[in-house]
Structure 1
Amino acid sequence: MAGNDAASGAGYQDEYWVGAYYLAALFAEAFAEGDIGKVTRVEYQRGPLGDVVVYGDSASGQATLDLQVKRRLQVSAKRGDFPKVVRQMWKTVKDQGFKQGIDKYGLVVMRGSKPLKRLGKLAKRAAACTASGPFWTAIDDLNQGEKDVLKAVMDVSESIDSSNVKDVAWRILGSGMVVLEMDPANAESPHRAYLRSWVDSRVHSPRRTEAIVNTIYEFSSQCDKNRGSVDLAGLERKLLSSGHFLTPSLSAPMVVALESMAPVRSEELAPAILGEEPDRFDMDLRHLTSDNVLTDPDEAVRYIADENSLLRSAVNTQKDRKLILCGRSHIPLAALVGYLVGDRGDVRVLDWHPNAEDQCWNWPENDLCAYPHLIRTETGQRGTMAVRFSLSFWVGEDSSASGLPSTIERTVGILDQVVHLSHPELEHCGTLRARSVRSQLQARAYADEFRNVLDSAVSLTSKIDVFYAGPLSVAFEMGRRVASTMHPPTTVWNYEAGKYTWGICLNPRNGQGVGLPKAVFAPDYKKG
């Protein structure tokens, strides 16, 4: 149980929420914190550390993650729970059933600290050494804070085996220790968001998701008190017996809402989908943003596009279901979602219209209304290539001595060819304050013209960099037009604070062919 370093009431709730976090991962058959593969079972009060023991299906076979949960923990060999925790770690490592290199053990801490971060760093460093000697010969590289943490571990190790202190300390640190900082008890925390998204990946309904999350938490508290052991079948039986439906209604459309800059509110969305009662799949990435700046593009791309991502699961297991794509997000993320949705048939896109009198998601015109065709201009013939795509703003208005937009040159270097697709009204004013795209048909048509550019470039370039300014609806549709194998690697860039800082390559190449989408960065990019 959570000990002296945590207030008892809060400590118990922390254990329940950490257990609920792993139960939700079990429910979705997902990967969770701890690096032991897909979660297959969760147990309570079982191991030496033992608050929560998680089983996973790793590449090397069944793995276990033995965790003690603390609200906070002081790293000290003389005070608090730290000495007891270190001894329990040693007991875990010495257990004859412990699988070196596969099983993990350690801490979940709600309130992290610099010493705990240093402890995690030391654990990774020790794990990288195949023997005790190389670890100790390199300790001069440690800073003073890291040396203080190491001394605390050594002091406890001396109380375990005074004749073999260094080997014991190295084995405690390097045999699979993890130090996880998470607070799923906080409703606004990233890990609570993951918990909700895992549940939502099964039921695709915000109302049902919240109800199931509450039941999972209550079930977790019961299991903690009863030393429970739960696999997927047992969890599903519990949820079904509590009156929950665990599958979505496949006849209802599914709204895919991408939220990295602002939420997509159901009450605002409702007028645009009258007559339909859709389920929702929310990709809420706002915990990765600060003042609308995405602080960790790598993590955002992994969340959306990994082979086992919730979006892939939702899209690939329900291929006949109607999708409605919408969002208030960064352009490259929308293109990525569109790319993963692909060319499946029944897909609608919606746009948020903040300048409308009553801010709404409704298209101002229907698909029978005429729309202006894009202007296409080209310079150069063969080699490195950029596509400037200007709908709401003029992309690359500033020019360098070479005649190319300097903001683009700073990102990808000198280009051999540039194709510019632009809204005709931008030729006169540079910025469109009115809606540049006024119907779903227009969004699709503009994306088709983008596809024509990609098709014509297949034999002319080895990669394509896209610089787009316009509604998110066209960004979704752009991504859907990128063919993974036919088109060269295509990167959609993000513009902020006067420059292009990061982008997403939708279809990168690797030694085996087309790889997973990945974040790419400008030379002057600074993380966070």
Structure 2
Amino acid sequence: MKEILLAGIDYFKTKMLRLSSATLYVSVGMFLMSSALSMGLFIDIDLAYGPLGGGFNIADRQTWPVGIQYGLLILGLISIGYGLIVVHPRHLKRVEEATQRQRVVVVDHRGLTFAVNKTVFESVPPEFLGRREEIPIDQTPYVSGNSRVDDPEKSLEEVLHIRRDIDSRVKAVDKKDVTVIYGGLASVPFTFLTGYLIDDDNDVEVLDWDRFKGKWFHIKSKGEEVRDAVISGLKEAETAEEVVVAVSISYKADLPALAKAFPGLPLVHMDSGDYQPNNHWDKTQQQKWAEQFVPLIRALGGAKKIHLTIAAQNSVVFTLGRTYDRRNCPPLCLYQYERDEDPAYPWAVEMPRKGSSAQIVWNK
């Protein structure tokens, strides 16, 4: 019963509330009129059948007074008329004003050779009103056929100016009228860095690619049960100068490869324990992981460097990147995982610090 109720609430929030006010008035009017007609108003049909002349009279099914039926019919007509004549023109005017005033900046991050059949720009949900601007981040020229990043330095250059690019598109627009929509398929270090650079100067919404359904989906709250990740090894690492942090969301990080790549360093593991590609579609769940990630990094504030690896979906990595605060967190290097290489974590993006920009660090 609980699942049915939640499904009904989700349908109302995701479907009904997307309708314009005029559509709602017309829908209610049609419902009232159909209710009146279903009570037998204006209908009196005799159907004869069978050799003995039996029949069926629809009018015999009337149980409501005619006055109520007429009242429902009139209310339905009023509702439809009000929606079409009064509400709909107002709605069109509001949409036009919003479109002229507001801006929707769409960041399409392409960093893998995996091809999609629809761009992020084409998949922006209709409820985001305003003139749309597209900013592509195209790192595919520096990626080989198996999505291996062949030239991290040049790939990095494609990301570094994303905040400046956004600001240049909306410099004459009030911040409250700007929505940034991010969607992408890219390497973990560059996705995290993009989230960090975009930050929260504007309202930010995220789309992620569903490989099973072959389409982009808007990450939003779904009312599902939120799960805590389990954090282990933190106490042993709090006084260390260098620490390895592994975040396992969609699959478990390669802990043996981490131990080999960073011998002798303490390991802190943030583990969702729910390794599946579709465990991330609830925005509230992503926010919960972010709420755990931030204090985890801050708790290691005494470290001179954090070596970070994240095994998670693109949207989760982007969200974690937006939460990283260089003012209150230690220096951080986020590593790329290449299972068939030695070491399996060959390079990282060192996150920007005061007085220095992001750079590529090689693990030799």
TM-score of the superposition, structure 2-length normalised?
A: 0.63
Q: Residue 363 of structure 1 contacts residue 439 of structure 1 at CA under 8 Å; is this kept in 2?
A: no
Q: Which whole-Å CA distance do the structure 1 matches of 2:320 and 2:307 have between them?
A: 13
Per-residue CA shift, 1:70-122, capped at 9, x if unaligned? xxxxxxxxxxxxxxxxxxxxxxxxxxxxxxxxxxxxxxxxxxxxxxxxxxxxx
Displacement after TM superposition at 1:446 (Å): 1.1
Q: Give the letter aligned to residue 299 of structure 2.
A: S
1:132 maps to none
Cα–Cα, structure 1 residues 335 and 519, in superposed 2: closer, same or farther, change >3 Å?
A: same
Gaps of 5+ in 1: 1-247, 397-404, 426-430, 524-528
Cα–Cα, structure 1 residues 388 and 364, in superposed 2: closer, same or farther, change >3 Å?
A: same
Q: Residue 260 of structure 1 contacts residue 330 of structure 1 at CA under 8 Å; is this kept in 2?
A: yes
Displacement after TM superposition at 1:249 (Å): 6.7
Displacement after TM superposition at 1:275 (Å): 3.3
1:388 is the counterpart of 2:246: yes
Q: Residue 259 of structure 1 contacts residue 327 of structure 1 at CA under 8 Å; is this kept in 2?
A: yes
Cα–Cα, structure 1 residues 293 and 462, in superposed 2: closer, same or farther, change >3 Å?
A: same
Q: Residue 350 of structure 1 contacts residue 473 of structure 1 at CA under 8 Å; is this kept in 2?
A: yes
Which of these residues, 252, 267, 272, is aligned with residue 423 of structure 1? 272
1:283 is the counterpart of 2:137: yes
Q: Give the letter aligned to residue 269 of structure 2.
A: H
Q: Residue 306 of structure 2 contacts residue 332 of structure 2 at CA under 8 Å; is this kept in 1?
A: yes
Which of these residues, 125, 138, 141, is aligned with residue 273 of structure 1? 125
How do 1:373-452 and structure 2 match up within 5 A? 373-378=228-233, 380-381=236-237, 382-383=239-240, 384-396=242-254, 405-415=255-265, 417-425=266-274, 431-432=275-276, 434-452=277-295
Displacement after TM superposition at 1:285 (Å): 1.1
Secondary structure of 2:221's partner? coil
Q: Residue 253 of structure 1 contacts residue 322 of structure 1 at CA under 8 Å; is this kept in 2?
A: yes
1:339 is the counterpart of 2:182: no
Q: Give the letter aligned to residue 248 of structure 2.
A: S
Task: Report percent identity of matched pairs.
Answer: 19
How do 1:51-90 and structure 2 match up within 5 A? none
Secondary structure of 1:486's partner? coil
- Aligned residue pairs: how many? 250
Cα–Cα, structure 1 residues 363 and 346, in superposed 2: closer, same or farther, change >3 Å?
A: closer
How do 1:39-118 and structure 2 match up within 5 A? none
Q: Which whole-Å CA distance do the structure 1 matches of 2:221 and 2:163 have between them?
A: 31
Cα–Cα, structure 1 residues 349 and 491, in superposed 2: closer, same or farther, change >3 Å?
A: same
Per-residue CA shift, 1:334-378, capped at 9, x if unaligned? 0010111123241111211102xx322225873422222211112
Secondary structure of 1:419's partner? strand
- Higher relative CO (Cα under 8 Å, sequence separation at least 6) belongs to 2
Which of these residues, 293, 297, 311, is aligned with residue 152 of structure 2? 297
Q: Residue 104 of structure 2 contacts residue 128 of structure 2 at CA under 8 Å; is this kept in 1?
A: yes
Per-residue CA shift, 1:318-339, capped at 9, x if unaligned? 3722111110111111001011
How do 1:285-364 and structure 2 match up within 5 A? 285-291=139-145, 292-305=147-160, 309=161, 311-317=162-168, 318=170, 320=175, 321-355=178-212, 358-363=213-218
Displacement after TM superposition at 1:468 (Å): 0.7
Which of these residues, 477, 491, 502, is aligned with residue 319 of structure 2? 477
Q: Residue 246 of structure 2 contacts residue 270 of structure 2 at CA under 8 Å; is this kept in 1?
A: yes
Gaps of 5+ in 2: 1-98
Displacement after TM superposition at 1:410 (Å): 3.6
Which of these residues, 304, 316, 328, is aligned with residue 462 of structure 1? 304
Say which one has the larger Rg.
2
Q: Residue 220 of structure 2 contacts residue 284 of structure 2 at CA under 8 Å; is this kept in 1?
A: no
